């Protein structure tokens, strides 16, 4: 019997990840490689094609009879889902106006989809993760930036021209730090991993006994967000102060979304959310505060379940839905 297989691809600034799924959503194979964007999109696409070929060959070698039914792509944006174009020289240097549909169509002849990476991560959690089947799901991924996506009735909420709304750049503090987007005090410039590390570095002189100095061999320039969270967990005053502030900023961004849209579930993922416990008190205070105007306590705030695989699931599901005639 021939089994349909769907490939989900998650293209980030550093890695490209691939997963093969059957129609029931079982993850059959997984792989990843460096994308080395600076070598150019042609080289990158050639590498992606050979990774897909190797994955399909591997499945056949295990004795299965597989037919490639579709390839779903999630990529760091801006991306153009309609035309299959990635235009992101910011985090994928040299990837300016690159059609991914053309070469993949030529090589594989299978249906294709392309979506923003925050959208596919949210779709993955909707399909197989922490937000399974809910009507309104907001997924927030906190890592080097803050990605956010809204899934409404199983479909990606799209803005004018089909564009992806970018919640990471909502302004939380207009007197905050300058963001590369042109605004000041964006959510991601206050509560992402790099923002947490930067705040710890900036305040280290106030805390000469902080364990963060020891953790970084006496060089505060090496402080990373992960270490700040680790220090906070052991009670280090600088770690605690920085994480409390980041949690307050983070919870304000969450509050804005709850007040505007009241989703059933908010799913929190990404490396920074490995420390979700440090964010809980601020999130609970915020929820109690705004519960006066909206039923905020009814909104479940839960950790993501699929980790780094969420985007793979979502990308595969987006093309599966296209094949089924119910595009997301």
Chain residues in the site for Zn ion (CB under 5 A): 169, 179, 181, 183, 186
Looking at the Cβ atoms of 183 and 252, the one nearer to Zn ion is 183
Looking at the Cβ atoms of 199 and 210, the one nearer to Zn ion is 199
Nearest distance from residue 187's CB to Zn ion, in Å? 8
* Terminal Cα distance for the chain, rounded: 29
C-alpha to C-alpha distance for 280 and 285, rounded to whole angstroms:
9
Nearest distance from residue 282's CB to Zn ion, in Å? 21
Nearest distance from residue 165's CB to Zn ion, in Å? 13
Nearest distance from residue 181's CB to Zn ion, in Å? 3
Looking at the Cβ atoms of 150 and 187, the one nearer to Zn ion is 187
C-alpha to C-alpha distance for 276 and 273, rounded to whole angstroms:
5
Looking at the Cβ atoms of 45 and 179, the one nearer to Zn ion is 179
Looking at the Cβ atoms of 143 and 303, the one nearer to Zn ion is 143
Nearest distance from residue 91's CB to Zn ion, in Å? 14
Looking at the Cβ atoms of 100 and 191, the one nearer to Zn ion is 191
The Cβ of residue 24 has, within 10 Å, a number of other Cβ atoms equal to 6
Nearest distance from residue 170's CB to Zn ion, in Å? 9
Q: What tokens appear for 165 in the block?
A: 């709304």
Q: What tokens appear for 266 in the block?
A: 């908010």
Spatial neighbors of 294 by CB under 8 A, at least 6 apart, are: 258, 259, 262
Cα distances (angstroms) measured from residue 309 to each of 8, 86, 165, 294, 304: 10, 21, 22, 33, 10
Q: What tokens appear for 163 in the block?
A: 């564009």
Q: Which residues pair with 16 in a beta bridge?
A: 11, 33
Nearest distance from residue 194's CB to Zn ion, in Å? 12
Looking at the Cβ atoms of 174 and 217, the one nearer to Zn ion is 174
Element (DSSP H or E) covering residue 85: strand 85-86
Looking at the Cβ atoms of 17 and 169, the one nearer to Zn ion is 169
Q: DSSP readout, 39-69? A: G-HHHHHHHHHHHHHHHHHHHHHTT--EEEE
Question: Collapsing DSSP states into helix, strand and coil, what is residue 184?
Answer: strand
The Cβ of residue 40 has, within 10 Å, a number of other Cβ atoms equal to 14
Question: Collapsing DSSP states into helix, strand and coil, what is residue 72?
Answer: strand
Nearest distance from residue 189's CB to Zn ion, in Å? 6
Nearest distance from residue 145's CB to Zn ion, in Å? 9
- Burial of 198 (C-beta count, 10 Å sphere; 0-12/13-18/19+): middle
Spatial neighbors of 109 by CB under 8 A, at least 6 apart, are: none
Looking at the Cβ atoms of 152 and 183, the one nearer to Zn ion is 183
């Amino acid at each position: 019997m021939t089994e349909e297989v769907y490939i989900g691809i998650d293209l980030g600034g550093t890695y490209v990840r691939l997963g093969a799924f059957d129609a029931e959503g079982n993850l059959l194979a997984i792989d990843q490689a460096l994308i080395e964007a600076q070598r150019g999109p042609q080289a990158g696409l050639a590498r992606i094609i050979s990774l897909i070929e190797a994955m399909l060959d591997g499945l056949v070698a295990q004795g299965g009879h597989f037919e490639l039914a579709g390839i779903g792509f999630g990529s760091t944006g801006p991306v153009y889902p309609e035309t299959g174009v990635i235009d992101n020289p910011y985090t994928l240097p040299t990837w300016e106006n690159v059609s991914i549909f053309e070469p993949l169509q030529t090589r594989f002849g299978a249906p294709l989809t392309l979506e923003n990476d925050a959208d596919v991560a949210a779709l993955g959690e909707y399909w197989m993760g922490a937000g399974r089947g809910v009507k309104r799901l907001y997924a927030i991924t906190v890592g080097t930036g803050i990605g956010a996506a809204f899934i409404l009735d199983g479909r990606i909420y799209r803005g004018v021209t089909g564009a992806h709304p970018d919640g990471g750049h909502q302004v939380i503090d207009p007197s905050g730090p300058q963001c590369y987007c042109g605004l000041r005090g964006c959510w991601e410039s206050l509560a992402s991993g790099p923002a947490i590390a930067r705040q710890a570095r900036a305040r280290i002189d106030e805390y000469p006994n902080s364990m963060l100095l020891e953790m970084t061999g006496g060089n505060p320039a090496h402080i990373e967000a992960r270490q700040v969270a680790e220090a906070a967990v052991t009670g280090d005053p600088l770690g605690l102060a920085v994480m409390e502030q980041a949690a307050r900023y983070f919870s304000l961004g969450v509050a804005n979304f709850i007040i505007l849209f009241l989703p059933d579930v908010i799913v929190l993922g990404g490396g920074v959310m490995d420390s979700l416990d440090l964010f809980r008190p601020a999130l609970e205070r915020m929820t109690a505060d705004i519960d006066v105007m909206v039923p905020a306590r009814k909104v479940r705030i839960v950790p993501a379940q699929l980790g780094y695989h969420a985007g793979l699931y979502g990308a595969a599901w987006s093309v599966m839905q296209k094949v089924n005639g119910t595009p997301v």
